[in-house]
Amino acid sequence: MMRDMRLEQPSPRWRSAFLEMVRDFEAAGEHRYAPALQDFDAYLSKVEAGRRATDLPVGWVPAAEFWLEDTGRLVACARLRLALTPELLEEGGHIGYDVRPSMRRRGYGTALLRLALVEAQTLALERVRVTCDDDNVGSINVIERNGGVLDGRVTSKRTGKTVRQYWIDCQR
């Protein structure tokens, strides 16, 4: 269980552990990290470009990606966006996170968001926007356990689902 958890910077060192986690997502029909299976080095280059804010696609903002490691195994990913577009303010927010399907409901999401908030504070963000679907009880609990205050609800332009919008104070 969560003994030696920490956030890791994406790097070639974690190739096999990351690809194992990606296969877990793929088996559950979740394809966010699929490009890493085709070309891990290109995936890392894209993550690094986001961190450096170079060659970003139109509408993208600088962002850092972190991988949650627990005793040698990668169990989750977080993306920390350093700015918000109007679209991200509405849906997406500063922090997005995913726990690998086989490791859900074990407290990793709560720990991951807590650690991502520490990184946000380190990067001088005073508060962060975090959003989730209104029917995602797991994420609602993760966000609220980490001090999330519900600020509103909107209908997603992408999915048509209701999205909850939270603020979390990083200076707690």
pLDDT in tens, 116-158: 999 999 999 999 999 999 999 999 999 999 999 999 999 999 9
Measure CA of the first residue to CA of the last residue in the chain; give whole Å. 27
For the stretch 12-58, pLDDT in tens is 999 999 999 999 999 999 999 999 999 999 999 999 999 998 888 88
Instruction: Please classify residue 163 by burial: count the beta carbons closer than 10 Å to its beta carbon, then call 0-12 exposed, 13-18 middle and 19+ buried.
Output: buried
Q: Which tokens in the block code for residue 17?
A: 């552990």
Contact between 98 and 36 under an 8 Å Cβ cutoff? The reply is no
Domains identified in the chain and CATH numbers: 6-125 (3.40.630.30)
For the stretch 70-81, pLDDT in tens is 999 999 999 999
Confidence grade of residue 59 (pLDDT, cut at 50, 70, 90): confident
Closest CA to 76 of 1, 7, 138, 4: 7
Backbone phi, psi, residue 86, to 5° = -55, -35
Residue with tokens 């997005």: 96
